[in-house]
Amino acid sequence: MTGIVLFAIALVCLFLGYSVAFTFAGVSLIVGAIVLGADLFAFMPYRIMSIMENTILMAVPMFIFMGIVLQKTGLAERLLESAAKLFGGIAGGVAISTIIVGALLAASTGVVGASVVAMGVISLPVMLKNNYHQPTATGVICASGTLGQIIPPSIILIILGDVMGVPVGDLFRAAILPGMLLVVTYVIYILILGKFKPEFVPPLVVTENKRELLVQALKDIVPPLVLILTVLGSIFAGIATPTESAAIGAVGAVILSILYGSFSFGKMHEISKETVKVTSMVFAVLIGATAFSMVFSYSGSEYLIEEFFMELPGGKWTFIALAMLAILILGFFIDFIEIAFLVVPILLPVAIALDINLVWFAILISMNLQTSFLTPPFGFSLFYLKGVAPKYLKTTTIYKGVIPFILMQIAVLLLVVFFPEHLIIT
């Protein structure tokens, strides 16, 4: 019963609003000391040191830094403005440009919050001014911003790679087609909406010369695209590890800010502080989750969970269905980092025992966690957008807007479940 009590108390504390990192650590220390004895934590310092010396996790702060540089120096803003003018002349053009830029930002940052805020500040006013259907406009921005969960270099893929013991480069490679399929699905949906409901996504009146627009768009899009191809290409070609490519990306983002004339030491100081804050949060949660998983495992609960799933009829498919359903439901209430550190270590031994391909399983989890950013009532993308949206835009409007995109994400997730041989690059 120790594992069940531990899990239940942790969830209650999270729902009550207590800090994630301290909830994991505090509950684990109290329950572990009472049930298993304080000596259990004698090895905790060694576990913490192994986390801090982990070269894979070194990629996390560098990719976060890269994303914040692109946001704070206005490079993401230039991308959005150019793409909106380039595609704005067709029905749904601004929405399509938002989706495409969302994919580019995802591939260059992997930071969902930065993408949603950037597009909420720039694209949303343009769409609302152009009489876009409000739920559609908000849904497009929230869904496009969450592409950073699946399109490499995704922070969650790096975390899952470490938690599951899977090479991050393999996860990045495997995530490309599912991520692109999501982008294509969103674009097709907007094009269909433009065909049958043109009043929902009216075209933008563009007065600039098309040739000038194209030249400006190339200037704003090509350099970040080169950075993306350099970062991901160096991993896929085997030239650099994910950690080394993250360093390339961080330096490349700074060089781009210099080339665009938006570099300043004041901004770099602000960006560095923001990077430290986000990175500290991730690693504090990781250390707390390590204590949690240690108590859970040493109490024998891990074997009970494995035994429960192994005895269910249907084998791996029943396990996959229940695991995905549990992660989807938990995503309504708690953040993806908590799920990655709290739930995945519990499911992992079962997946190994059932001989499930861990790369495929990690992609399914990542796509499911992406959906958690959109699901009311606690979808983080919804809060990010609400924070920068006009006062008159209701929260319920944002909730309505994300429903079609949640359904599309679930549909693509099911395709990856049933057709992994076509959608997962190994």
Higher pLDDT, residue 150 or 3 = 150
At 72 the pLDDT is 78
Question: Does 409 score more than 80 pLDDT?
Answer: yes
Average pLDDT over residues 321-335: 81
Contacts of 279 (CB under 8 A, 6+ apart): 60, 61, 64
At 37 the pLDDT is 80
At 411 the pLDDT is 93
**C-alpha dist (Å) from residue 12 to 17, 247, 342, 377, 379:** 9, 39, 14, 17, 18
Question: Does 426 score more than 70 pLDDT?
Answer: no
Question: Does 263 score more than 90 pLDDT?
Answer: no
Question: Does 109 score more than 70 pLDDT?
Answer: no
Question: Does 370 score more than 90 pLDDT?
Answer: no
**Encoded amino acid at 290, one letter:** T
At 206 the pLDDT is 66
User: For residues 411 and 413, what is the distance between their CA atoms, to the nearest angstrom?
Assistant: 5
Question: Does 410 score more than 80 pLDDT?
Answer: yes
Question: Does 290 score more than 90 pLDDT?
Answer: no
pTM over 0.95: no
Percent over 90 (pLDDT), the chain? 16
**C-alpha dist (Å) from residue 355 to 168, 310, 350, 359, 366:** 20, 11, 9, 12, 19
Select the highest-mean-pLDDT range: 36-50, 75-89, 267-281: 267-281
Higher pLDDT, residue 210 or 220 = 220
Please return the burial class of 76, using the count of CB atoms within 10 Å of its CB with bins 0-12, 13-18 and 19+. Answer: buried
User: For residues 140 and 124, what is the distance between their CA atoms, to the nearest angstrom?
Assistant: 9
Q: What is the pLDDT of residues 15-53, one digit of tens each?
A: 777 777 788 888 888 888 887 787 777 878 887 888 788
